[in-house]
Each structure stands twice: as C-alpha cells, then as structure tokens.
Amino acid sequence: MKASFFDILKSIAANPQIVLARPGVNTFLVRYMQKFTPQKVGGKVVLHSHLPPLNSIAYKRFVDEHLLQQNHKPSHAQIGITNVCKQNCAYCYNKGRSGTPMDTTTIIETGKKLIDMGVFWLGFTGGEPLMNPDLVRITKNLGDRCSLKCFSTGMDLTPKLAAELRDAGLFYFSISLDHYQEKVHDTIRGYRGAYRAALQAIEILKKLENVHVSVSAVFNRSMFENQDLIRFIRFIENLDIHELWLSESKPATASLCRDESIITPEQRQSMVQFQDQYNKKARMTLNYLNHFEGKESFGCNAGHKMVYVDAYGETSPCVFIPMTFGNVKTQPVEQIVSTMQACFPSEDCCFINKNYRTLAELDQALPLGPQQSIDVLKRIPFGPYGSFFKAFYGKAKARQ
Ligand code: SF4
C-alpha cells in the first residue's frame, strides 16, 4: 500500500533533530526521497529495502549516529549465515571462499559488535540462510536496533518458519529469481526446481502480514541488451510484491572477469533513468543497486560504510570484492574494519566494476589475503565521493 502524505510527514517529523545535520545532507535526502513512492507495510513506512523503514529505531540511529554524530564507522553489513546451499549459481560471489564455518555464537557476537559500531542495516546471506537451524535465534538477537534483511533462494521456507522469523524481528524478505522462464532460472541456479521453490516462497510471504516482500535478481548484460530485463520486470510486477531489487552480475570471481559481461557506464546510467521514471508511478518499487550506489546517490561504500563477513568469518569490503582483511574468529572485527576503512575511502562508482582487471592481472588466487589486498590497494586510485558523501563530509576527509 502506498504510504499517505501524512504517514511520510509523521515519519520525517519523528526525527526533528535531522535539521541539525549539514544543510547539504538534508537537501540531498529530500531530493533522494522524491525519487521513490514510499509504501506502508504493517505500519512501517518504507522507501526501499536497502534503508530501514523511515519510522523505525534503525532509521533514528542513522540520523543520530551517522548524520549528527558523524560516525565514520559502517552503516551496512552482510553476514554469511551458513556456507551451505543446494543451488549452484553461475555468478555466486562466494566461489573460491573456504574454511571452517562460524558457529552461532560467533555470528551473533559479530553482528552485535557491528551494530555497536554503527550498523543499522544488516543483510543475512550465505549460502542459503534458511539452512542454518539457528536463524530464528540469530534474528532475535540482532533485530532490536537494526533493520534486518534476509536474502534467500526460498527453498525450504514454510509458513511456520516465515512467521517465526517475522516474530523474531525479520522484516525484509528477499527471494532470488533471475528470469521469467523456469528453464533459464533453473539453469542459472544449477538446480532443477529452483524457480518453483522461489515462486512458492513468494506466495507464502505474501500471505504473511507485516513483512516486506521483494525479489532479488541478478541480470547479465545480454538481458539488458535484448530487452529481456524489461520483460522480467513486467513479470515480477504481476507477482504483486513490494519491490524488485536488481543488480547486474559483478566480476566477483576470476571466472566472471570478462569485459563483455560487465555493464557499461552508459548502460548503468540508462538503468538509473529507467528506475527514476518507473518509480514515479508503479505500485512496485524498483531498487537497482547501482542506483543506490551510483554517483548521483550514495556512491560505492565498500569497506567504508559496507562490510561483508562471509560464512567462514573472513571480512571483506562488500560481497562482490574478493579481498579479505582478516577473520573474526581470530581477530576483533573492530580491528579488521578499521584496517579496511583505512584502505577504502568512499567513491562515486562501483569499486569492483572499475578495478576487476587489476585484480585479475595479479594472477593470484582470489580472495586476496590481507597483505596482498593492502599492497594492491596502494596502486589503485579512488575517485571523488558520490553526492551524499560530498554533502556528508564537506571538506573533511573520509580517511581517518
Ligand atoms: S564494490 Fe561498491 S558499488 Fe560495487 S557492489 Fe560492492 S559496495 Fe556496491
């Protein structure tokens, strides 16, 4: 349901202290919000699923800790809840990652520490998060001050589990679906039945009250070029869900580092414009990752405001960057994040889309270890900030 003008006003007025943020930040936020049609889901006012609901505690933390106190620590994180998954996606960003999986205590402790540092949006990923039998317990422990999103294939989701997760504090559910044709989706996912499992999970979630339901999809460049992406968006619209989250396939592993499959800056720009037009009138929100992370918006915050802890505890700047700066099982996560932040200022375009050739040319096993990562980063120049961070930092430097 579309949020009313009064709902939006009430949500914004709940944080009057926001006027104390830098004027440029408020100007940016007003313009940014106007690009979306906020929805009301179970009393929560949602711009899109990469931000907490506007009337939530997590959003208040964004205002207080990040905008006002100028917290330079991360705001967004993803944690690999398990390494287990029945599917075998062609573009899986975890290929090449290995080790001993974190236990539940480590996952919860790491999540809590990240939240204490400033994280107000936490994504559960994997592997398939639903395959961790402790997912409800993990959710219960992490959801009070932080907005939680679960990225799932939908396999093995039951109405009972969905309700337990919602009651434990999970609000954003995202089911992977990459194509409107069953055969193509199953082939991409390396699993016969993946498409049906995803549609079944979506139906379960649609019947559940007070949860935000989205599809997350990875598209490749040919889908963009042959208009299949438009057909796919129309197909998802008919599922009658809240949001379609979209990302192009990223060169996150050696086998994906092919120039011809990386989206061009012009194609990205065209997707950004398409989203802005689309979201003015559609009932479903289109949420293209490279819109949020584009130069017009927040830019790339890998390793700066974004952290990825994989299922083995290895800590990276984002899910798509094959570098690790340490393992939370043997080193405090605060220390690892601090090292990573010293190497990663924010910039205005996707780090991995821009630098994958440099990593591929090293001819070393990926992900790179901490010292290898630090060494190669000395050779990689970073660009200017995206619009938000230009306003946020003003003349101050992002690197601390
Ligand atoms: S490198 Fe930056 S822009 Fe690219 S996916 Fe990671 S966080 Fe997003």
Query: Is residue 70 over pLDDT 80?
Result: yes
pLDDT reported for residue 294: 96
CA 243, 249, 251, 255 torsion: positive or negative?
positive
Q: What are phi and psi of 5, to 5 degrees?
A: -60, -40
- CA dist., res. 215 & res. 201, Å (int): 10
In this structure, the strands spanning 172-176 and 147-152 are: parallel
Which has more pLDDT, 72 or 165? 165
Query: Is residue 310 over pLDDT 60?
Result: yes
Give the Cβ contact number of residue 207 at 10 Å. 11
DSSP H stretches of helix in 16-103: 23-33, 57-61
Q: How far is the CA of 189 from the centre of ligand 1 (A)?
A: 22
Q: How far is the CA of 355 from the centre of ligand 1 (A)?
A: 11
Q: What is the mean pLDDT of residues 291-304?
A: 96
Q: Which amino acid is residue 54, in one-letter code?
A: L
Q: How far is the CA of 42 from the centre of ligand 1 (A)?
A: 31
Which has more pLDDT, 196 or 96? 196
Q: How far is the CA of 301 from the centre of ligand 1 (A)?
A: 7
User: pLDDT digit string (tens) for 21-52?
Assistant: 888 999 999 999 999 999 999 999 999 999 99
The confidence band for 72, taking pLDDT boundaries of 50, 70 and 90, is: confident
User: pLDDT digit string (tens) for 130-171?
Assistant: 999 999 999 999 999 999 999 999 999 999 999 999 999 999
Q: How far is the CA of 303 from the centre of ligand 1 (A)?
A: 9
* Coil, strand or helix at 258: coil
Which has more pLDDT, 18 or 307? 307
CB-defined site of ligand 1, < 6 Å: 250, 293, 300-302, 306, 318, 320-321, 350-352
Q: Of the residues 257, 287, 307, 352, which should be mutated to test ligand 1's pocket, given the most ligand atoms within 8 Å of the CB?
A: 352
* Coil, strand or helix at 92: coil
Which atom of ligand 1 is least distant from the CA of 353? 4
To the nearest 10°, the Cα dihedral for 317, 386, 227, 191? 10
Query: Is residue 400 over pLDDT 80?
Result: no
What Rg, from alpha-carbon coordinates, does the chain have? 20
pLDDT reported for residue 399: 45
Query: Is residue 54 over pLDDT 80?
Result: yes
Which atom of ligand 1 is least distant from the CA of 299? 3
Enclosing H/E stretch for 213: strand 212-219
Query: Is residue 3 over pLDDT 80?
Result: yes
User: pLDDT digit string (tens) for 321-337?
Assistant: 999 999 999 999 999 99
pLDDT reported for residue 290: 95
To the nearest 10°, the Cα dihedral for 79, 81, 82, 87? -80
CA atoms within 13 A on the CB side of 36: 29
Give the Cβ contact number of residue 371 at 10 Å. 9
Please say whether the beta carbons of 178 and 188 come within 8 A: yes
Q: How far is the CA of 350 from the centre of ligand 1 (A)?
A: 5
Which has more pLDDT, 329 or 7? 329
Q: What are phi and psi of 240, to 5 degrees?
A: 60, 55
pLDDT reported for residue 94: 87
Which atom of ligand 1 is least distant from the CA of 306? 7
In this structure, the strands spanning 285-288 and 243-248 are: parallel
pLDDT reported for residue 235: 97
- CA dist., res. 295 & res. 384, Å (int): 9
Q: How far is the CA of 7 from the centre of ligand 1 (A)?
A: 32
Which atom of ligand 1 is least distant from the CA of 319? 6
pLDDT reported for residue 47: 96
User: Percentage of residues in the chain with pLDDT exceeding 70?
Assistant: 98
Q: How far is the CA of 177 from the centre of ligand 1 (A)?
A: 21
User: pLDDT digit string (tens) for 189-226?
Assistant: 999 999 999 999 999 999 999 999 999 999 988 888 88
* Token pair listed for 144: 């009070």
pLDDT reported for residue 2: 87
The confidence band for 260, taking pLDDT boundaries of 50, 70 and 90, is: confident
Query: Is residue 97 over pLDDT 80?
Result: yes
CA atoms within 13 A on the CB side of 247: 18
The confidence band for 90, taking pLDDT boundaries of 50, 70 and 90, is: confident
DSSP state of 82: -
- CA dist., res. 274 & res. 244, Å (int): 13
Q: How far is the CA of 140 from the centre of ligand 1 (A)?
A: 28
* Token pair listed for 383: 């660009």
Which atom of ligand 1 is least distant from the CA of 352? 1
Which atom of ligand 1 is least distant from the CA of 302? 7
Which atom of ligand 1 is least distant from the CA of 351? 1
- CA dist., res. 80 & res. 313, Å (int): 8
* Coil, strand or helix at 330: coil
Which atom of ligand 1 is least distant from the CA of 293? 3
Q: Of the residues 218, 248, 250, 343, which should be mutated to test ligand 1's pocket, given the most ligand atoms within 8 Å of the CB?
A: 250
- CA dist., res. 86 & res. 191, Å (int): 8
Query: Is residue 4 over pLDDT 90?
Result: no
The confidence band for 395, taking pLDDT boundaries of 50, 70 and 90, is: low
Mean pLDDT, the chain, integer: 93
Task: Give the closest residue (by CA) to ligand 1 atom 2.
Answer: 300
Q: Of the residues 321, 349, 359, 382, which should be mutated to test ligand 1's pocket, given the most ligand atoms within 8 Å of the CB?
A: 321
The confidence band for 95, taking pLDDT boundaries of 50, 70 and 90, is: confident
Q: How far is the CA of 294 from the centre of ligand 1 (A)?
A: 9
Please tell me the pTM assigned to this model: 0.95
Enclosing H/E stretch for 282: none
Q: What is the mean pLDDT of residues 255-273?
A: 85
Q: How far is the CA of 359 from the centre of ligand 1 (A)?
A: 15
Cα 275 to the chain's mean position, in Å? 17
pLDDT reported for residue 396: 58
- CA dist., res. 280 & res. 128, Å (int): 34
The confidence band for 397, taking pLDDT boundaries of 50, 70 and 90, is: low
